[in-house]
Structure 1
Amino acid sequence: MPAQTSNEGEGELTVYCGIDWAEGHHAVALVDDAGTVVAKCRIGDDADGYEQLLGLLAEHGDTPEAPIPVCIETGRGLLVAVLRQGKRPVFAVNPLAASRYRERHGVSRKKSDPGDAKVLANILRTDMHEHRPLPDDTDLAKAVAVLARAQQDAVWSRQQLTNQLRSLLREFYPAALEAVAGWQNGLCRPEARAILAAAPTPGKAGRMTHKQLCAALKRAGRKRGIEAEADRWRDVFKAPHARHPELVEDALGRQMLGLLRQLDAACRTVDDLTEASEEAFRQHPSAEVMLSFPGMGIQLGARVLAEIGDDPARFADTRAVKAYSGAAPITRASGKQLYVGRRRIKNNRLHDAGYLWAFSALTASGGANAHYRRRRERGDWHSQALRHLFNRMIGQLWHCITTRTMFDERQAFPLPLAVAA
């Protein structure tokens, strides 16, 4: 419940807090039930500023039993971590939604930090029931979220560097691309990076001996098939290819080595974060339930857990988690017009993980594959059928997590009565 304060000759008043955050300072406003600003200040983004904010809240009735609710436009950072200590409800409002609330109080489009703080406080005063506070996830779930998101960002950065390196090799070193063509994520393989570091240009690659290629493969950690792999690389390098002038080729080789060093660092980062996120995910109580689902691997499970959390009160029902993930369709009806389409406002990370999960489940579950085939027979495209499958499975996952039950193929995808008979 929001904190209440009393004035002489008046009854108790409920107080709401709004914070307009910035990089170096934050504007704070406290309003009562009537919308009157009872206090406002500007604090720094440091420990002293946080203490000043907590002192201001305490002066206006903030207690551990009845904390003052806070509205802010972000759900991360040290300020949010300080405010979430205890049972204080913190509401993270989308900046776009906050700008719409600002237009309710005037059409001049004026804007200021204290004014935005007042708008955020008034959001709680008038529409707190329409917004959800930040979920009360455990520290382990928060740690999984940090590591899983960092791992996903590192994978995206690695792919961006891989694309840049591939584009450069196409310009002057097609033999390298030909050698890794049969490998998945070939340029990310340690063998490819080791050989490219030893032979950064086609001229140097053509002069590499069998022994040198074997040594590069061993440095990369390869244990088996070294002799045959070295022969394959040597044959590719010895084949005739178009060449740049030697001076230009050496310059392009130096550029390639720069990208290769960045790719090496990105690959090591992905490996380290993958190991850390998987280790943290295995320690979570929901890991066993999530891994019982077909197509759900450890890293994919960590990404899903990072987005849905482990607060059982976060979603009212399975429909809420389906809408949050973007799996459930959205309906727009006006008069005789009715439109049903996919959601564009969603948790993109969870939606991306759900696409991979549904695709993996096609080969791991007969029921999931049959459901996908039925949707395709009804006219759905591939992505539509996968989204429909994800919509069904994310609801089942949330039910199993909240009830602590394992996945059951027969209950998740029951056979039609005619087939069962």
Structure 2
Amino acid sequence: MKYFAGLDWGESHHDLAVVDDHGQLVTHTRLPDNHEGLAQLLATLTTVRRNRRSIPIGIETGRGLMVAGLLKAGQPVVVLNPTQVANYRSRLAAQKKKSDRGDARLLAHVLRVDGDAHRSTPAVSTNAAALRELTRAHRQALHSSGLLARRLRSVLRDYYPSAATAWAHLPAGLTRPEARIVLAAAPTPTRAARLTRRRLETLLTAAGRTRLIGTEAARLHELFHTPALRQPAGIEAAMGHRAAALLTQLDATITSAQNLWVEVEVLADQHPQTEIYRSFPGMGPLLAARLLAELGDDPRRFPTSRNLRAFCAATPITWASGTSRRVSHRRKTNPILAETGHLWAFAALTRSPGARALYDRRRAAGDRHPAALRRLYAHFLGSLHYCLRHHVHYRDELAFARSTTPGMAENGT
């Protein structure tokens, strides 16, 4: 007799249901979200079967202390997509209904009926799991800083257009240290008009600029003294306070991103697979850390390079019905992997002759720029799968060689 469990997750309590391979409910219990609840859950599974590790548990989230406790106890956990689970509701009743008890039983039924279509949570090392948390937090901080910079620019355009355009032609724009330190010293046009060239040079030096300080100070001085439309004094002062508040938030977010990146570098350097990732062309420290964090280091997670490509959304989906056939890229995927793959493939175009040749061939065959980059991304993933399996560094002349050897065939070259 086989058994399958479902755990309906909640903030204060969880519902556990266990069914047998005939679909009969074996047990149901409600557990508190604490250490005692985890002990009760494991004891319940042991009551059902002495070897509780043979009972997979379906759950709709892969995060939280309860999931961490189950994984630490060696219990197989299968994370199910909530959208897919919702489509199963009509299997048990004609009228869809929802309850914590019913959802726990539904999750168990999903594993019983289609358990082979869902994979258990990979056995990721503590280092890789911690790296995933840090890289995601770092990416979120970067996105937040970009959002705050756009909001700040929108506010500046309403009363201080010279500041909104002063650094628009430079990379990073308002997130640059020199932009933030000048705006902190002069958050309004009135205060900017009081800045002398010497004061601007001092601010630029404090921001870390080392080249063309005098030229940049002269440019800003002329820009801030150019006649422009102005808000009434009271409104200008109020909007200056608003911009200063946004600037404070922006500074804090950028500082957080920088601190997180220091921790990311430390963890990434400690992982044995990092050097393999960084051996690929276009794979800088940031992209390597993100890709390693999202893929994990479980050697059994991706049996073939095809599995790895599908997980990273680097392979297309075919829609075929009768005489109709359409091939499109995967849209429902991990956004971090999709973003990392695009940046990786684009950066490799100027660092790998083989990558550039493959990209040009795909463009000549009719692929648009994103599609050609996805082809290149898929090719790199095949090479990455081979390198990780054999613990070797990437070699461009082998990755793009037209060979029929087993290794190169597995790379998809």
Return the TM-score normalized by structure 1: 0.92
Q: Which amino acid aligns with 1:210?
A: R
Distance in 1, matches of 2:20 and 2:314, equals 39
1:40 to 25, 28, 34: 28
Moved >6 Å (runs of 4+):
none
1:86, CA displacement in angstroms? 3.9
Q: Which residue of 2 aligns with 1:394?
A: 381
| Aligned residues: CA RMSD | 1.6
Residue 109 of structure 2 is aligned to residue 84 of structure 1: no
Aligned equivalent of 1:8: none
1:7 matched residue in structure 2:
none
- Cα distance in 1 for partners of 2:306, 2:402 equals 24
SS class of match (1:71): strand
**Secondary structure, aligned partner of 1:26:** strand
Query: In 2, Cα distance between the equivalents of 1:30 and 1:61?
Result: 11
Does the Cα contact within 8 Å between 2:89 and 2:97 map onto a contact in 1? no
For residue 238 of structure 2, the aligned residue among 227, 251, 270 is 251
Matched position secondary structure for 2:286: helix
Q: Which residue identity is paired with 2:167? A: V
Counterpart of 1:358, as a letter, is A
More off after superposition, 176-185 vs 252-261: 176-185
Instruction: Classify the secondary structure of the residue corresponding to 2:320.
Output: strand
For residues 213-258 of structure 1, the C-alpha deviation after alignment (integer angstroms, 9 at most, x for no partner) is 2332233233454333322221221122221121111111111001
Q: Equivalent residue of 1:227, what SS?
A: helix
Using a 3 Å threshold, how does the CA distance of structure 1 residues 131 and 236 change in structure 2: closer, same or farther?
Answer: same
The answer to whether the Cα contact below 8 Å between 1:62 and 1:68 also exists between their aligned partners in 2 is no
2:182 matched residue in structure 1? 195
| Matched residue type, 1:58 | T
Q: Secondary structure at the match of 1:38?
A: strand
* 1:277-298 alpha-carbon deviations (Å, 9 max, x no partner): 1221121111111111000000
The verdict on how the C-alpha distance between 1:199 and 1:28 changes in structure 2, with shifts beyond 3 A counting, is same
For 1:34, the aligned partner's letter is H
1:280 paired residue among 259, 264, 267: 267
Question: One-letter code of the match for 1:22?
Answer: G
Specify the alignment match of 2:44 in structure 1: 56
The residue that corresponds to 1:304 in the other structure is 291
Residue of structure 1 equivalent to 2:55? 68
Alignment equivalent of 1:23, drawn from 7, 11, 15: 11
Deviations 1:24-60 (A, max 9, x none): 2111111122222121111121222222212212222
Contact kept in structure 2, 1:323 and 1:346, CA below 8 Å: no
Q: Give, in whole Å, the separation in 2 of the partners of 1:131 and 1:176.
A: 53
Query: What residue is the counterpart of 2:406 in the other structure?
Result: none
Q: Deviations over 1:375-394 (max 9, x none)?
A: 11111111111111111111
Structure 1 letter corresponding to 2:395: D
1:334 aligned residue: 321
SS at match of 2:72: coil
Find the counterpart in structure 2 of residue 6 from structure 1.
none
CA displacement at 1:105 relative to structure 2: 1.1
| 1:116 aligns with one of 88, 92, 103 | 103
In structure 2, relative to structure 1, the CA distance for the partners of 1:394 and 1:207 (3 Å cut) is same
Distance 1:61 1:105 in 2: 26
Task: Specify the alignment match of 2:224 in structure 1.
Answer: 237
Gaps of 5+ in 1: 1-12, 417-421
Question: Kindly, what percent of the aligned residue pairs are identical?
Answer: 44
CA contact (8 A) 1:178 1:236 kept: no
Q: In structure 2, what residue type is equivalent to 1:85?
A: K
User: Partner amino acid for 2:8?
Assistant: D
1:345 to 332, 336, 348: 332
The 8 Å contact of residues 312 and 402 in structure 1, kept in 2 or not, is answered as yes
Question: In the alignment, is the contact (CA less than 8 A) between 1:166 and 1:177 conserved in 2?
Answer: yes
Instruction: Name the CA shift for 1:415/1:67 in 2 (closer, same or farther; >3 Å).
Output: closer
Q: 2:364 aligns with which of 377, 389, 413?
A: 377
The alpha carbon displacement at 1:196 in A equals 0.3
Corresponding residue of 1:9 = none
Unaligned runs of 5+ in 2: 404-413
Structure 1, 199-208 or 170-179: larger mean CA deviation: 170-179
Cα contact 1:376–1:385 (8 A) shared by 2:
yes
* Residues in 2 aligned to 1:224 and 1:343: alpha-carbon distance in whole angstroms: 46
Cα separation, 2, equivalents of 1:300 and 1:194: 29
Paired with 2:165 and 2:321, the residues of 1 have a C-alpha distance of 56
CA contact (8 A) 1:67 1:87 kept: no
Query: What per-residue deviation string (whole Å, max 9, x for no partner) do you get for residues 79-106 of structure 1?
Result: 1011112432110000111112221111
**C-alpha distance in structure 1 between counterparts of 2:161 and 2:381, whole Å:** 44
Give the structure 1 partner of residue 200 of structure 2.
Answer: 213
Report the Cα distance in structure 2 between the residues aligned to 1:177 and 1:70, rounded to whole angstroms. Answer: 54
Q: How many residues align?
A: 403
The corresponding residue for 1:164 is 151
Q: Supply the distance in 2 between the matched residues of 1:143 and 1:62 (Cα, whole angstroms).
A: 32
Secondary structure of the structure 2 residue equivalent to 1:259: helix
Whole-angstrom distance in 1 between the partners of 2:174 and 2:86: 45
- In structure 1, distance between residues paired with 2:357 and 2:402: 10
- What amino acid maps onto 1:374 in structure 2? R
The separation in 2 between residues aligned to 1:88 and 1:294, in whole angstroms, is 39
| Cα distance in structure 2, aligned partners of 1:260 and 1:214 | 21
Map of 2:112 onto structure 1: 125
Residue 141 of structure 2 is matched in structure 1 by 154
Aligned equivalents of 2:28, 2:335: Cα separation in 1 = 36
